[in-house]
Structure 1
Amino acid sequence: MTTVATPEVTNAAAAPTEADGISLADIAKAHDVRFLLATFVDMTGKPCAKLVPVEAAEELENGSMGFAGYAAGLIGQKPQDSDLVAMPDLASFTPVPFIREGLAIIHCDPHVDGKPWPYAPRVILKNTLARLADKGIQAKIGAEVEYFLVTKNPDGTLSTADASDDSPRPCYDARGVTRMYEHLTSISEAMNSLGWGNYANDHEDAAGQFEQNFNYADALTTADRVVTLRYILNILAEQRGMTVTFMPKPFMDRTGTGLHLHLSLWSGADPLFPGENDPKGLGLSELAYSFIGGVLQHAPALQAFLAPTVNSYKRTGATTSSSGATWSPRKASFGGNDRTHMIRVPDNKRIELRSGDGSANPYLAIATAIEAGMDGVGTNIDPGLPSGPGESRADAHQLPATLLHAVEALREDPVVLASLSCDEEIGRYYAAAKEEEFLTWHNQVSDWEIRNYLTSI
């Protein structure tokens, strides 16, 4: 739970780009890297990669690393389609010697037949940012990555990895943080070695739940860092015999896992959200309010990307937890420094979008939120007055009750449906996949059904 605005920092570990005339092989050798994990994610956020020896860095850079896209996952391909070719972004080069000595991650943009693949999440976000740049605007994003540390029991159930972490209200517990000292400090040191600016590591609201914060950056860099951090967390926890999960609601009686996004718009060095003489009282500009209005207007459809799994709606639908609060909004409302709203305004330079969860693909979540907000800017949507503490406007959208409801909202929202690379067909492809995911779950017979229906008649 981020409580303070964080200063912007440059990425101390940023690599040179092709424009500097330095090759990927040169960058790798300068960092004593022997192998490259050439990485991209599919639409679900699953990381896909090939392990490339530095001796083949030139082939990777020249577009010789092909993937069978249909096999990789949800990324808009059929078995008969041409290869996805991973084109590395040199600026994303990230040495990870704390994972394996001599290893680095490099994020790639999938191409097909020589062109960026419009279904690829990183390409989708880059397309959104290019359209934003055409307006002279840049987006800067902060992300709060929450997660649980668990172990899987022989019967398939989950237990908290720290057996002593069993309080109903463990948030900020100093003892829980201390027991997980080795894990938390190893992640903190990893982030700081990469120049991310880790500034806090805390026990979250549920037993077994943690959050580790890092400074905000431009939108693409932050999305890359979320993907990288999830990978780092998974591997380092596994080395200690634990499992990291970003599942939104792994325990029904505990708070769920969010991916809260802090969004701001800038023109060069000037923030665009602060305003003077704001009659609504939050110190925001008209542009900021229109951006908020766009996000709220399109909130039901956005949830298909911010809360993209069946399990997501166990989190947003919860009415309470063992701690007494769910920290997940149920309506599309906004207000000041109040965590019960979908949009919290902690200061006049940023807004916090709180309806996303740990299963969200950061590229798609950020891209669609920006597109919705900019639609509000383009149409001068007025979000009305901010809601008071714990309140919401009577006309505020109710957030979808299930993934299927979110899919239906997406299909009925032409702005969000067409926000993926400006192509409605991609939105329909994603909606169909998510509908199938819901129906696959729905077709399973659960223990609840056996208990309630076996002898009910």
Structure 2
Amino acid sequence: MTVTADPSAGVADRANGATRQSSFPALDSDRDHLSAPGTLARMVADTGTRFVLAVFTNLRGKPCAKLVPASAVDQLEAGELGFAGYAADAIGQQPRDPDLLVVPDPRSFTPLDFIKPGLALVHCDPWVNGEPWRFAPRVILGRMLADAATDGLELKVGAEVEYFLVRRSDDGSLHTADPKDDESHPCYDARGVTRMFEHLAGVSDAMNVLGWANYANDHEDGNGQFEQNFAYDEAMVTADRVMTLRYIISMLAEQRDMIATFMPKPFSDRTGSGMHLHMSLWRDGHPVFPAVGEDSYGLGLSPMAYSFIAGVLTHAAGMHAILCPTINSYKRIGARTTASGATWSPTDATYGGNDRTHYLRVPDGNRVELRGGDGSANPYLAVAVQLAAGLDGVRRDLDPGVPATVSEATHTLPPTLLHAVEELGRDEVVRAALDIGGDGVADYYADLKREEFISWHNTVTQWEIDEYLTAL
């Protein structure tokens, strides 16, 4: 059983003696009864849950949680569970600041008996001083979805989650968890999938028990690399499920003495891990991307879809620090070659049809696939900034022009995290998406990433020792 998250989640915060309504009033719906006090407690009782992981996600994409016994779930529902935000890291707080009080979204309640009997998880929105905390990624996405709803639009998203299964040697080096996974072209290898059957089947069974409709599990292009897919849904539902799935994959891998890593490029000579997002806009329960009559560029898309694409391309460089948020991200993007012969990671912002070398691929007239993000991306922020970019294109009626080949690209993506941070500083639309709950979030995020780059830059690596120690 699962009750999925929804951006219209009403929330209650009685920490200050008052009941608070939804922080996203534009999306309130007839499902408000789900957020009534006691809803989560009833779910806990109905599923025999003993402990609930109350989870919120920081700006780096780290899931932060407290383990709440069933006997204290009413306190969690009342907004009385506090976190020291500075200790959680990357959530806009200093040690002197008041606690984050988390408010659970009952729609995201997820039993996890396949990990630990009696365990469940619920995603939460942090609040501070009686208001949703503007530095919280889930809050940012919720407000961006509410902004789209003012135009009568809803975003639906499908996500591709790629990862490596590895083990550490005694010297700390990484090696593929399956020692027989050494083919030069391992993608879709039936034997590699079969050898990892127990892990892949365990993850698949978990998704299907939860009602996520897992439809494929495959060996990806790198040795030790896999992808597991589930059905698309409302944007907040999908973002919550990406975070939950990363947790499930990691814990089930650990049970088998493996490490599941979503690091974009754990091996220099192998393909890196992306997080491709398939996006479609809907109005009144109907998709608005398919062409009805006019089709400017022959891809089966409506004028609104082409304007959405134009917005995403216009802001591709400005979004890059969110879609590819780590130092390691740019090792994946900038890879000259891999053992298999392809990197699958675009360096230019182009769009086209069913062509996987594009930044934006249009596999059919129902959706567009953004291939620029990687496995380290925070799903809430990644979806929020892409929606903001696309909406900017729609609202300004932008035209993406004729689909270009990659060799004709005019928009080159930032080559390093530092370059990406500089582009973020210049893109007011992307900055506004991060600052949608109040000023300061975009600058704070940029400072986090700038410090990350400088910290790496100040670290002497083995490559430098090998290259320069006796060169002069």
Q: Same fold (TM over 0.5)?
A: yes
- Alignment match, 1:19: 33
Is 1:442–2:457 an aligned residue pair? yes
Q: Which residue of 1 aligns with 2:420?
A: 406
**27, 36, 41: which one aligns with 2:52:** 36
- Residue 393 of structure 1 pairs with residue 408 of structure 2: yes
What is the distance in 2 between the residues matched to 1:305 and 1:14? 25
* 2:381 corresponding residue in structure 1: 364
Asked if 1:355 is matched to 2:372, the reply is: yes
Q: Secondary structure at the match of 1:249?
A: coil
Contact 2:337/2:343 (<8 A) preserved: yes
Tell me the SS of whatever aligns to 2:306: helix
Q: Are the counterparts in 1 of residues 102 and 126 from structure 2 also a CA contact under 8 Å? A: yes
Could you list the per-position Cα deviations for residues 158-191 of structure 1 after superposition, in whole angstroms to 9, with x for gaps in the alignment?
0000000011210000000000010000000000
Q: Any runs of at least 4 consecutive aligned residues in structure 1 with deviations exceeding 3 A, and if so which? A: 11-18
User: Out of 141, 166, 170, which is 2:157 matched to?
Assistant: 141
Distance 1:13 1:69 in 2: 27
**What letter is aligned with 2:240?**
D
1:418 aligns with 2:432: yes
Three-state SS of the structure 1 residue aligned to 2:440 is: helix
How do 1:130-279 and structure 2 match up within 5 A?
A: 130-275=146-291, 276-279=293-296
Unaligned runs of 5+ in 2: 10-30
Partner of 1:427: 442
Check conservation: 1:191, 1:198, Cα contact below 8 A. yes
Q: For residue 79 of structure 1, what is the aligned residue in structure 2? A: 95
2 CA distance for matches of 1:299 and 1:456?
40
Any conservation in 2 of the 1:127–1:421 contact (CA below 8 Å)?
Answer: no
Structure 1 pair 86–13 and aligned structure 2 pair: CA distance change class (3 A) = closer
1:296 corresponds to which of 313, 325, 328: 313
> What TM-score comes out, normalization by structure 2 length?
0.92
Contact persistence 1:417–1:424 (CA under 8 A): no
Return the offset for 1:283.
Answer: 1.2
Structure 2 match to 1:321 = 338
Moved more, 423-432 or 101-110: 423-432
- Who is 1:308 aligned against? 325
1:109-124 equivalences under 5 Å are 109-124=125-140
AA aligned opposite 2:214 = N
Contact 1:343 1:353 in 2 (8 A): yes
> What is the match of residue 395 of structure 2?
378
2: CA distance between counterparts of 1:159 and 1:263? 35
Q: What percentage of aligned pairs have identical amino acids?
A: 59
Cα offset for 1:123?
0.2
Give the secondary structure class of the aligned counterpart of 1:418.
Answer: helix
Q: What is the SS of the residue equivalent to 2:433?
A: coil
Q: CA deviation at 1:393?
A: 3.2
* 2:82 is the counterpart of 1:66: yes
User: Quick one: distance in 2 between partners of 1:79 and 1:424?
Assistant: 20
Distance 1:52 1:140 in 2: 31
Instruction: Please give the alpha-carbon distance, in whole angstroms, between the structure 1 residues aligned to 2:40 and 2:168.
Output: 40
Alpha-carbon deviation of 1:23?
A: 2.3
Distance in 2 between residues matched to 1:394 and 1:292, nearest whole Å:
15
Select the residue among 327, 346, 354 that pairs with 1:337.
354
Q: How far is the alpha carbon of 1:392 from its aligned partner?
A: 4.4
Shift of residue 156, structure 1, vs aligned partner: 1.2
Q: Equivalent residue of 1:259, what SS? A: coil
Conserved 8 A contact 1:331-1:392: no
Structure 1 residue identity aligned to 2:289: F
**Maintained 8 Å contact 1:32/1:102:** yes
Answer yes or no: is the 8 Å Cα contact 1:274–1:285 preserved in 2: yes
Counterpart of 1:453 in structure 2 is: 468
Report the residue type matching 2:196 in the other structure. Answer: M
Give a deviation string over 1:248-270, Cα, whole Å, max 9, x none: 00000000000000010000221
Deviation at 1:287, TM superposition (A): 0.9
What is the alpha-carbon distance in structure 2 between the residues aligned to residue 245 and residue 12 of structure 1? Answer: 25
